[in-house]
Amino acid sequence: MRAIIIGAGKIGYNIAETLSLEGHDVFIVERDEERKKIVDENLDVQAILGNGADSKLLESIEIEKADLLIAVTENDELNMLSCMLAGQYGVNKTVARVRNPDYDKDNKLATNPALNIDLMINPERVAANEIAKIIAIPEAVDVNYFAKGKIMMLELQIEADNPIVNKILRDIQIMHNDYHFLVAAISRKEEIIIPRGDDMILAGDRIFIIGRTDQMRSIEKGLGFTRKKVNSIMIVGGSRVAFYLAQLLEKKGLEVKIIEKDYKHCRVLATDLDEAIILNGDGSDIDLLQDEGVANADLFITLTEDDKLNVLVALMAKRLNAKKTIAQVRRSDYLPLLEAVGIDVTFSPRLLAAEAVLKFLRSQDFLSISVLEQGSAEVYEILIQERMKRLINKKLRDLKFPRGMLIVAILRDNDVIIPSGEDELLVGDRIIIFTVAELIHRVEHILRLEV
């Protein structure tokens, strides 16, 4: 595939890196010389200095031969114009980053054929949606659904006092055989492990469990987790992510309190939100946090535009007995370190946006895709079709997948199967494949085996 990416910021850089590693022909257009230099020094792509809406520049890199154009600069109008130009040159698929809420909420603009935009993505709205999923199941670090919601995957943090610490997986499965579930992977010291029955769970691990959605609460209980309902959320920072998140939480009837330092912005938030309490104050003020009941809030989230402030306030909240903390950090390379020092969940809107774009690009082959651990692993939902001759009517143990790739669930006629090596794949099955990043290309290869 030949791809052109406009903008070498965090989103553009992450997408370019992934597509390049998958062997695609990638061009990246960037106006800033320093950003271009970073791309030149670190990625195996062709970087061009210039304006992504310059038709002559696009012609110089043969845009008419491109299969894909992704415009993810900080300028919404430039991104939309680049996609419109790409349509005139016959580019098959386009993606535009659009952050302005006035554009984002206008579906007529997003679906206007003249703009030629296949996916319009708002990083802040994507981030708000991801946080909302975690709020629904607060004991989880991450939540994903498959097979029309019938199958759930949870990422859970294993603390030292968890009853499954130092137990091997085979024994855990036997202890809880009333429910069918699978520990699909273990994240340990920034490494993804596809475990076997004799692998042991250690304190500090993060495990990925997959099972039936309607049984997951009971599965969690058996693994030492208790699902607690979230009723109240305290947010520091009235950013766009905070606004979108508050809108989602208001619809669910949850109590939302936002602390924002800028008085004028407080008035805007108070006007645009219906039920949320807006407080004008400094979110790093310990006395204010205590007075407003940080220890009583079910969830504490830092969403200012300052990464350092988000980290500092989240750590302060922990010291003040906050039950669970979530912090926005735009520097994605900091995320694993920050979670290690005590913040329960950290996220980068730009990284989430990059993941959403990659999901969209692969959606023609897969029913759904989830990107895990900052791209270290991915989960694919695939429909088994007649053309997949090497897969159908074969026992899983005979497929000889490489270690690092695993079929973790099957949906067949509305029944969820957590498979063993003796299970076979049938036409019409929906299968869930977990794979480490290094083997993503093998999944796509398997799909194309027709003989």
366 and 407 belong to one structural domain: yes
Predicted confidence (pLDDT) per residue in 221-246, tens digit: 888 888 888 899 999 999 999 999 99
243 and 310 belong to one structural domain: yes
91 and 12 belong to one structural domain: yes
pTM for this structure?
0.81
Vertex 239, ends 235 and 245: CA angle to 5°?
60
CATH number at residue 421: 3.30.70.1450
Is residue 430 one of the residues assigned to a domain? yes
- Measure the CA–CA gap between 315 and 442, rounded to whole angstroms: 41
Number of domains the chain is built from? 4
362 and 387 belong to one structural domain: yes
Tokens standing for residue 303? 């969403």
Choose between 190 and 256: higher pLDDT.
256
Q: Which domain holds residue 182?
A: 146-222
- Measure the CA–CA gap between 411 and 382, rounded to whole angstroms: 10
Give yes or no for a contact between 94 and 118, defined as CB atoms under 8 angstroms apart: yes
How confident is the model at residue 147, as a pLDDT?
87
240 and 342 belong to one structural domain: yes
pLDDT at 138 over 90: no
**CB-side exposure of 127: number of CA atoms within 13 Å?**
27
Neighbouring residues of 407: CB distance < 8 A, sequence distance ≥ 6? 396, 399, 401, 419, 425, 431, 432, 433
The last residue of a domain, from among 222, 241, 258:
222
Is residue 151 one of the residues assigned to a domain? yes
The last residue of a domain, from among 346, 361, 394:
346
257 and 175 belong to one structural domain: no
The last residue of a domain, from among 222, 246, 266:
222
How confident is the model at residue 451, as a pLDDT?
36
- Measure the CA–CA gap between 87 and 73, rounded to whole angstroms: 18
200 and 158 belong to one structural domain: yes
236 and 320 belong to one structural domain: yes
Is residue 304 one of the residues assigned to a domain? yes
Is residue 308 one of the residues assigned to a domain? yes
Give yes or no for a contact between 102 and 125, defined as CB atoms under 8 angstroms apart: no
- Measure the CA–CA gap between 299 and 131, rounded to whole angstroms: 11
Neighbouring residues of 224: CB distance < 8 A, sequence distance ≥ 6? 162, 163, 164
Tokens standing for residue 361? 């690009």
Is residue 129 one of the residues assigned to a domain? no
pLDDT > 90 fraction of the chain, expressed in percent and rounded? 56
362 and 383 belong to one structural domain: yes
Is residue 161 one of the residues assigned to a domain? yes
200 and 308 belong to one structural domain: no
CATH number at residue 31: 3.40.50.720
What confidence category does residue 49 fall into, taking pLDDT thresholds of 50, 70 and 90?
A: very high
239 and 260 belong to one structural domain: yes
Is residue 339 one of the residues assigned to a domain? yes
15 and 70 belong to one structural domain: yes
Is residue 112 one of the residues assigned to a domain? yes
Predicted confidence (pLDDT) per residue in 251-295, tens digit: 999 999 999 999 999 999 999 999 999 999 999 999 999 999 999
